[in-house]
């Protein structure tokens, strides 16, 4: 279920987006942008009583879908790694590194400005790391990644916060996932 690539040489787990969501985001953003251009083109022929409505709708909606397409394009690069996890140590996004034992809170938040989900990691030092998912990482996969790779190495306070957010019954039902108690040295 998790689209990941394990790099044994560097001891990293690279997290990628879901192929199904790649197709969904591409069809939605690019498809609707092209669709609005076709609506405008057909409306400009004035072959119907509704042509003026088509032109108006196309002119209003085309910039919106073009805007969403431009925001989502970086996520549509084939093989894009959203972020990496060094097991038992840290989360790596571009040149930013967050140690797992310094994580205070992890959230998945939708930005209302561009409609893209972001993973927000807050640390005890007050740093906030935003990792864009470009809507190609499903919510359940986000929950699985954090619970599998990050949760065992969080502080007790952070674990309590995470336990209030996550519904293990839902994860069992949807992804057949059960949390394993890990012994950490």
pLDDT tens-digit series, residues 77-112: 988 999 999 988 999 999 999 999 999 999 999 999
Q: What are the pLDDT digits (tens) for 145-184?
A: 999 999 999 999 999 999 999 999 999 999 998 888 765 5
pLDDT at 184: 57
CA angle, corner 160, sides to 158 and 164, nearest 5?
A: 115
DSSP H or E segment with residue 61 = helix 51-72
pLDDT at 160: 94
Q: Rounded mean pLDDT of 41-52?
A: 91
Q: State percent of the chain over pLDDT 70.
A: 97
Phi, psi for residue 84 in degrees, rounded to 5: -125, 155
Nearest alpha-carbon partner for 170 in 149, 147, 136 = 147
pLDDT at 180: 81
Mean pLDDT (the chain, rounded): 92
How much is the pTM? 0.88
């Amino acid at each position: 279920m998790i689209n990941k690539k394990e790099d044994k040489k560097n001891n990293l787990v690279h997290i990628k987006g879901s192929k199904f969501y790649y197709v969904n985001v591409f069809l939605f953003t690019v498809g609707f942008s092209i669709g609005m251009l076709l609506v405008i083109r057909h409306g400009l022929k004035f072959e119907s009583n509704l042509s003026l409505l088509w032109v108006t709708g196309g002119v209003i909606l085309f910039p919106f879908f073009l805007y969403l397409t431009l925001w989502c394009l970086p996520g549509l690069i084939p093989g894009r790694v959203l972020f990496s996890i060094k097991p038992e140590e840290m989360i790596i996004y571009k040149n930013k590194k967050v140690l797992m034992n310094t994580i205070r809170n992890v959230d998945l938040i939708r930005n209302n400005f561009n409609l893209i989900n972001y993973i927000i990691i807050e640390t005890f030092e007050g740093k906030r790391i935003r990792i864009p998912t470009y809507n190609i990482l499903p919510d359940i996969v986000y929950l699985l990644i954090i619970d599998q790779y990050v949760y065992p190495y969080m502080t007790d306070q952070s674990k309590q916060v995470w336990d209030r957010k996550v519904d293990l019954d839902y994860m069992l039902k949807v992804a057949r996932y059960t949390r394993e108690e890990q012994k950490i040295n």
